[in-house]
Structure 1
Amino acid sequence: MSELELLKIIASILALIVSVVGHEIMHGWVAYRYGDMTAKLQGRLSINPIRHIDPVGTILVPALLYAMHAPFLFGWAKPVPIDMNTVLRKGGYGAAVAVSLAGITYNFALAILAATLLPLAWPPHGMLGAFVYLFLAQSVMINVVLGVFNLWPIPPLDGSQALRFFAAKMGWRGFVEAYEKIYPYGMIILFAILFTPLADILFAPVGWILKWIIPG
């Protein structure tokens, strides 16, 4: 393994950890702003990655994707505990939508920041410069992928939560009741999509967003 390959692996791992850990912390932080102390009391608003690492989502899945030469790394951290009843009671359905979209907002914001800084890191100088460039490049890709993926309206992804609370806010009771019946089958539907050509269609916005935020 060359030094450049090793740098890319390290940069990719760090970028993934920053992306998925920050995603979960933002859910907890926004919930905290609406009065839910659950995540804070359990120490899950900490930036210490050890508190958030999921053995499967943060380690095994990314490792398998890398070994399979996947076009991008992907994963998740342990979900931050949230008492949505408290959020609803103190902030209403709008607050619940905000909590649901907090992680996605973080991912897209981080992708835009990394894309803005990326030209400043080119051309890289030395090993440190190469590491910074690779870290920024991987941060752009990983965060866009995570943002798009979590927007899918498939339970238990964030997009489904936001859609359900928005529908409740609008008074679409029939829609909410019908949608909630899908929840027990959400993971089956999700994995079925991920292993079919439909995934290419749903991931298509990744390419559009990358072309938009990466200069030149």
Structure 2
Amino acid sequence: MFENFDLERVILVVIALVIAIVGHEIMHGWVAYKFGDSTAKNLGRLSINPIKHIDPLGTIVVPSLLYFTGGFLFGWAKPVPVNMSVVIRNGGYKAGIFVALAGIFYNIVLAIFSLFMLVNFGDLFGDLFAKFLVFLFSTNLFLGLFNLYPIPPLDGSKALTYALLSLGFRGLADKIYSLERYGMIILVVILISPLSGYFFEPIRYVFKMFAGII
């Protein structure tokens, strides 16, 4: 298990993962705060201190198991608490969409920024910095695209629900919302089934577009 252990790689990927998932959660709370919901701020969850956002399972156990069994890292932080009733009251269902997509926006923007830095300044600060930028780009792009899927409990599902509500399709929105309690089970079943290959194909396609750059 440890024969191919690369400490440098692990450290760089962990830093990239923490930046990606902690920033993702903070953005949900920050955008909610802009629409009048101070829940996350009052609980100290808008802090960049990663300790406040660590989820023992998603931030430690799952990434560790994935690394030692598959060689890659993926995880999540504790969800930032958001009072969506306050958000919607102040900004309507569009505000709900903004809050839902805030983390994805953060990841995609950071991925683009990382790629820009890699292409233009990757060699300026040495090989270690270039490696970190590659991990930062890959982690954020993957998390951003993955969370776009309209499957509970992913952010894309929440954004779709509020979009349907804004268009007047309450019945359909309620059905999607009702799946939230089974969302993690549905997601796990998809990921461990033969469907996973098709599930990740759009993400693989996007990564192939950048293969020549990174």
TM, length-normalised to structure 2: 0.91
Partner of 1:111: 111
Q: Is 1:86 the counterpart of 2:86 in the alignment?
A: yes
Partner of 1:23: 24
Partner of 2:98: 98
TM-superposed CA distance for 1:60, in Å, is: 1.1
1:85 counterpart letter in structure 2: S
1:203 counterpart letter in structure 2: F
CA distance in 1, matches of 2:210, 2:86: 37
CA distance in 2, matches of 1:203, 1:106: 21
For the 8 Å contact 1:21–1:49, the answer to whether it is kept is yes
Partner of 1:188: 185
TM-superposed CA distance for 1:215, in Å, is: 5.7
2:176 counterpart letter in structure 1: Y
TM-superposed CA distance for 1:186, in Å, is: 1.3
CA distance in 2, matches of 1:124, 1:58: 32
Q: Secondary structure at the match of 2:70?
A: coil
TM, length-normalised to structure 1: 0.90
CA distance in 1, matches of 2:127, 2:133: 10
Output one character per residue of 1:95-149: Cα deviation in whole Å (capped at 9) or x when no partner.
Answer: 0000000001111111111111112454477xxx232112111111111111122
CA distance in 1, matches of 2:116, 2:18: 20
1:181 counterpart letter in structure 2: S
For the 8 Å contact 1:115–1:214, the answer to whether it is kept is no
- The Cα RMSD (Å) is 2.0
Partner of 2:204: 207
TM-superposed CA distance for 1:207, in Å, is: 2.5
Q: Is 1:67 the counterpart of 2:43 in the alignment?
A: no
CA distance in 1, matches of 2:209, 2:109: 14
TM-superposed CA distance for 1:80, in Å, is: 0.4
Kindly indicate whether structure 1 or structure 2 has the higher relative contact order, using CA contacts under 8 Å at least 6 residues apart. 1
CA distance in 2, matches of 1:10, 1:34: 36
Partner of 2:133: 136
CA distance in 1, matches of 2:12, 2:159: 32
TM-superposed CA distance for 1:197, in Å, is: 2.4
- Structure 2 unmatched runs, 5+: none
- Structure 1 unmatched runs, 5+: none
Query: Among 168, 179, 192, which residue is 2:176 paired with?
Result: 179
Percent identity (aligned):
49
CA distance in 1, matches of 2:194, 2:142: 17
Structure 1 segments, 4+ long, off by >4 Å, are: 121-125
